[in-house]
Amino acid sequence: MITPGATDKRPVKVLLSPLMPLLILVGFITIAIGLKSGLERQESFRVRAALDYEAQRLAANLEREFDTHVKALQRMAQRMAENPGLTEPLWRYDARSYLVDFGNYQALEWVDEALFIRWVEPLDGNADALGFNVGFTPARRAALLDAAANGTVDISGVIELQQGGSGMVLYAPVASGRQNRGFIAGVFRMDTLASTLLTPRVRQHFDIDIVENGRLAYQLSQAHPLHPDFTHTETVELPAVDWALTLKPNTAWVETQYSNWPGYTYITMILMGALASALIWLAQTVLQRNRALSNARARLSQETRQREGVQQTLARLESTDALTGLANRRFFMADVAHALTIAARLEHQLALVMIDLDRFQTLNDTLGHQLGDELLVKVAQRLDTLSDERVLIAYSGGDEFMVCQQHVTSLDDVIWLLGQLQRCFRDPFLLHGERYSITATLGAAVYPHSGLDADLLLRNADIALYRAKNNGRNTYQFYTEGMQERELQRLALQKEFADALVREEFVLFFQPQLDLRTGTISSVEALVRWQHPKRGLLVPDEFISLAVESGQITALGRWVIKAACQQLAHWRTGPYRDLIIAVNLSGRELDDHELVDYIQHTLTHHRIDANRLEVELTEEHFIRNIERNKNQLTRLRDIGVKLAIDDFGVGYSSLGYLRDFPVDLIKIDRSFITNVTQQHDDAIITRAVINLGHNLGLKVVAEGIETIEQLQFLQQHHCDCAQGYFISRPIPAHALDTALQQSYADLLHLEPV
Ligand code: C2E
Ligand code: CA
Ligand code: CA
């Protein structure tokens, strides 16, 4: 990734400076100016060269012109020298033919040895010159005499002509030395010379001066306006005179010489500069944008990282239970689903175990929720020691934990794990210095036999758990096919239950209780049965828990009370008029605040004494929600109904509640009686419970008597009443006669009443 700092290198920094485009533009302008001036200098060289050329050509022309004329005059002089008797008319004739050939002459003259002009052709316009001495200055005279002596040509230079205007005279000596007979002179007019020498183009563009001995002698042409920068002077090689031509071009000519390249180059460079700086500016903008972008990206990825961290924390929080620190149900289910795909691929088995803490609710209610929570945490800690890459422990809520075991190769693996799980509950838990023992019931479902997906496995583990609880707690149970069947039946029953209430499919069976002091039946326990239209007579174990789960137990309870009262009303006049009926109440029924009112109302309605009705509540239900129950039970006692504690001895270890509750009777649990004659411990407990009850002024009943020995043991230890198959099974009301008429006096070695 590109970090923002990496782009902060020096060249980049310079390139990014806001001055950069300006600098580039200025650079280009400088180069443009330099180039332009260079090119212009080159151009002016060219112009100068062209000017040189023009001047040289002009000078050469002039020299050639002079040469031609000089030669022609020399030929005429020669002819005169060779012909001493030449007459004027003949000379004139000769001269005329010359004038025709050389139109430049103003006149041809013969100057005698004394330097006077003697003959002139044409005479017209030149007559004034006749008799004029051409050696009019000492310099001119010396020059002419010198030329006559040496036979060389003399040129007068630019002079004012005797005939008027500027002109020039060429003198060719007629013989030299002593034979000299003067000169043949050709007179030029400067304007005529100019017209022969200069083309209209040259005349139009140049100012041409003839400089003689350093002084301006004649202006051959004048062209305006002149260009200030250019001028060229070319010497002209002429005999006897010192001449130079000075050429000055006018601006028009110079401009035609100049090309547009410097201008074009200049503009091109400026444009290129503008383009380059615009490009740089653009590049800067793009670079800055890029930088801003990569900064933004860096910030963004940082934010993303932070967010990912938060998300991970959230995910961890979402996946764990706040109280126990174990995985929560949602995470567990997701993990199981994932583990199942692995199990399917590797063709492994997978076990799902549900753990339910036995009687946790009672503990929670009596000790308080805080201690209950602490216990849950302790349990979670112990269970968590078993977790590894194969075993995941989770908390499902309430008093339930869940375990997923991966890579199971045989059922032994699962049985070993179940054993380990149970070991977690072997030692008591220490809470605030107190030791609390708690057991757990486990249900297990194994993939693929007990289900292919997580939900089904969980449901089946739950069914197995439910079975295990029914079979007595502190045990485990694997899910089997039959369970599913039973579970379905259970659900069907739950549906049919409501209809059964309406159709009054329930009946009360009665199980007598034998008074061990008198040998008579003093009371009966009402035990409900469901006369199912298809399945026949169903015992409470098959439907009471369904009714509790669906909340219909309240209605069933009311029906039982009503039926019991009806039965009491029915017996009012017969031999059973003193018989007490004991009815069972489940804990949930106590939640019904109108229960006591209902009982009272029903008793009054059937005009029955309240002391003919007894209510049995299990120890566990007694303890649950102590405060609320206490209120209800006190009111029940107040109206005269007796209270019995059912299944005494298996539930709760504290006996303090016996002091606080308005109890009349305790029923020793069947489990103590079963082996009371064989097991020393059970005998001791049974005796202790009897004594305890009596010391508290309570009546003591033993239930589950199946043998004469049990009956006699109880009698010996002064138990008040006995109930069990040995005396009678639960039977319908109309079958009670036989049971009641039987005498137990012999069995008990009592005097018959
Ligand atoms: P429980 O109150 O402990 O009732 C005694 C149970 O023990 C009865 O089973 C009875 O048939 C059985 N029993 C009696 N003597 C002997 C014996 O000598 N040996 C053996 N092995 N068993 C004996 P049942 O009728 O199946 O009732 C089971 C439980 O259902 C009752 O236990 C009671 O808790 C509940 N129950 C029964 N009727 C009602 C009811 O009307 N309302 C409520 N809420 N619960 C009821
Ligand atoms: Ca009972
Ligand atoms: Ca019982």
Q: Check if 587 has its Cβ closer than 6 Å to any atom of ligand 1.
A: no
Average pLDDT over residues 572-583: 91
Check residue 651 and give its pLDDT: 65
The whole-number average pLDDT for the span 461-471 is 89
Q: 724-745: per-residue pLDDT in tens?
A: 999 999 999 999 888 788 878 7
- Could you give the C-alpha distances from 716 to 297, 309, 431, 711, 726, in angstroms and in order? 93, 75, 42, 9, 17
CB of 719 closer than 8 Å to CB of 702 = yes
Q: Is the CB of 673 under 6 A from ligand 1?
A: no
3-state SS assignment for residue 634: helix
Residues 509 and 319: their CA atoms lie apart, in Å, by 52
Ligand nearest to the CA of 614: 2
CA 520 to ligand 3 center in whole angstroms: 20
Between 265 and 353, residue with greater pLDDT? 353
Helix 595-605 vs helix 553-571: crossing angle, to nearest 10: 20
Lowest mean pLDDT among 107-111, 121-125, 655-659, 703-707: 655-659
687 CB-near residues (< 8 Å, 6+ apart): 717
Distance CA 397, CA 35 (A): 92
Q: Which residue, among 736, 750, 739, 686, has the nearest Cα to 714 in the 3D structure?
A: 686
Ligand 1 neighbour 731 (Cβ under 6 A): no
Give the C-alpha separation, 638 to 612, whole Å: 14
In percent, the amount of the chain with pLDDT more than 90 equals: 59
Q: Look at residue 6 in the predicted model and tell me its pLDDT.
A: 45
Contacts with 715 (C-beta within 8 Å, 6 or more apart), sequence order: 516, 722, 748
Q: Is the CB of 86 under 6 A from ligand 1?
A: no
The closest residue, in CA terms, to atom 46 on ligand 1 is: 584
Cβ of residue 730 lying under 6 Å from some atom of ligand 1? yes
User: What are the start-end ranges of the E strands in 570-652?
Assistant: 580-584, 613-618, 642-648
| pLDDT level of residue 581 (50, 70, 90 thresholds) | very high
Pocket test for ligand 1, best of 508, 510, 527 (most atoms within 8 A of CB): 527
What pLDDT, on the 0 to 100 scale, is given for residue 473? 78
Angle at 576 between CA 639 and CA 505, to 5 degrees: 80
Distance from residue 592's CA to the centre of ligand 1 (Å): 22
Mean pLDDT of 643-648: 92
Cα distance between residue 202 and residue 91, in whole Å:
38
What pLDDT score was predicted for residue 653? 55
Give the pLDDT confidence score for residue 574 in this predicted structure: 83
675 Cα to the center of ligand 2, angstroms: 20
- Three-state DSSP state, 457: helix
Amino acid at 251: T
Q: Could you tell which of 528, 584, 675 is best to mutate to test the pocket of ligand 1, judged by most ligand atoms within 8 Å of the CB? A: 584
Beta carbon of 705 within 6 Å of any ligand 1 atom: yes
How does pLDDT run across 307-352, given as a tens digit for each residue?
998 888 888 778 899 899 999 999 999 999 999 999 999 989 999 9
Q: What is the pLDDT of residues 87-129, one digit of tens each?
A: 999 999 989 988 888 877 889 999 999 999 999 999 888 888 8
b/e code 537-570 from CB counts within 10 Å (16+ = b): ebebebbbbbbbeeebbbbbbbbbbebbbbbbee
From 129, 141, 163, 154, select the one nearest 73 (Cα to Cα): 154
Residue with tokens 């001895």: 649
Residues 6+ apart with CB under 8 A from 178: none
In the chain the first and final C-alpha atoms are separated, in Å, by 106
**710 touches ligand 1 (CB under 6 Å):** no
The finding on whether 545 has its CB within 6 A of some atom of ligand 1 is no
- How high is the pLDDT of residue 315? 80
Mean pLDDT of the chain: 89
Give the predicted TM-score (pTM) of the model.
0.50
CB 527 within 8 A of CB 616: no
Please tell me the distance between residue 670's alpha carbon and the centre of ligand 3 in angstroms.
Answer: 7
C-alpha to C-alpha distance for 54 and 716, rounded to whole angstroms: 167
- Whether ligand 1 lies within 6 angstroms of the CB of 544 is answered as yes
Task: Please check the confidence at residue 753 and state whether its pLDDT lies above 60.
Answer: no
Asked whether 386 lines ligand 1 (CB < 6 A), one says no
**Does residue 236's CB lie within 6 angstroms of at least one atom of ligand 1?**
no
Name the residue at shortest CA distance from atom 30 of ligand 1. Answer: 540
Say whether pLDDT at 654 is over 70.
no
pLDDT in tens, 255-265: 888 888 888 98
Radius of gyration of the chain (CA): 74
Task: Give the long-range contacts of residues 79-87, CB within 8 A, separation 24 or more.
Answer: 80/110, 80/174, 80/181, 80/184, 81/174, 81/175, 81/179, 81/181, 84/181
pLDDT band of 8, cuts 50, 70, 90: low
Band (pLDDT 50/70/90 cuts) for residue 652 is: low
Give the pLDDT band (50/70/90) at residue 682.
very high
Provide the CB-side half-sphere exposure for 607 (13 A, CA): 5
pLDDT recorded at residue 102: 80
- CB of 513 within 6 A of ligand 1: the answer is no
- Is 633's pLDDT higher than 90? no
Residue 583 CA: nearest ligand 1 atom is: 41
Nearest CA to ligand 1 atom 33: 584
Instruction: Give the pLDDT score at 5.
Output: 45
Q: Which residues in 137-174 are b (16+ Cβ under 10 Å) and which e?
A: eeebeebbeebbeebbbbbbbbbebbbeebbbbbbbbb
Buried b (16+ CB within 10 A) or exposed e, 176-206: eeeebbbbbbbbbbbeebbeebbeeebbebb
Mean pLDDT of 142-156: 92
What Cα–Cα distance (Å) separates residue 97 from each residue in 129, 172, 218, 272? Answer: 21, 18, 29, 71
Q: How confident is the model at residue 238 (pLDDT cuts 50, 70, 90)?
A: confident
Over residues 191-221, the pLDDT tens digits come to 888 888 788 888 889 999 999 988 998 988 8
| Interval between CA 703 and ligand 2 midpoint (Å) | 9
Amino acid at 123: L
Residue 518: phi and psi, rounded to 5, are -105, -20
Q: What is the mean pLDDT of residues 453-465?
A: 93
704 lines ligand 1 (CB under 6 A): yes
Q: Answer whether residue 625 shows pLDDT above 70.
A: no
Ligand 1 lined by 724 (C-beta under 6 Å): yes
High-pLDDT (> 70) share of the chain, %: 97
Distance of CA 292 to the CA centre of its chain: 17
Does the beta carbon of 561 lie inside 6 Å of ligand 1?
no
Euclidean distance between CA atoms 732 and 526, whole angstroms: 10
pLDDT at residue 277 in the model: 92
**Torsion sign across C-alpha atoms 387, 392, 397, 401:** negative
Rounded alpha-carbon distances, angstroms, from residue 714 to 361, 524, 687, 710: 33, 19, 8, 6
416-449 tens-digit pLDDT: 999 999 999 999 999 888 888 899 999 999 999 8
- 326-355: b or e for each residue (b if 16 or more CB lie within 10 Å)? bbbeebbbebbeebbeebeeeebbbbbbbb
Ligand closest to 730 (CA) is: 1
User: What's at 715, amino acid-wise?
Assistant: Q
User: Helix H segments across 503-618?
Assistant: 544-550, 553-571, 587-590, 595-605
612 C-alpha vs ligand 2 centroid, how far in Å?
A: 16
Candidates 401, 480, 467, 396; CA nearest to 440 is 401
Flag whether pLDDT at 698 surpasses 50. yes
Beta bridge partners, 580, equal 523
Ligand 1 center to 562 CA (angstroms): 19
**Residue 541, pLDDT above cutoff 50:** yes
My answer on whether omega of the bond before 448 falls inside 30° of 0, hence cis, is yes
Cβ atoms of 238 and 188 within 8 Å: the answer is no
Measure the CA–CA gap between 361 and 364, rounded to whole angstroms.
5
* Residue whose C-alpha is closest to residue 657's, from 668, 646, 645, 669: 645
How far CA 82 is from CA of 62, 116, 180, 312, 679, in Å, comes to: 30, 21, 11, 137, 195
| Structure confidence at residue 4 (pLDDT) | 43
CA distances from 577 to 568, 573, 602 (A): 7, 6, 18
Confidence of residue 7 (pLDDT cuts 50, 70, 90): very low
Side chain identity at residue 499, one-letter code: D
Per DSSP, 270 falls in state: H
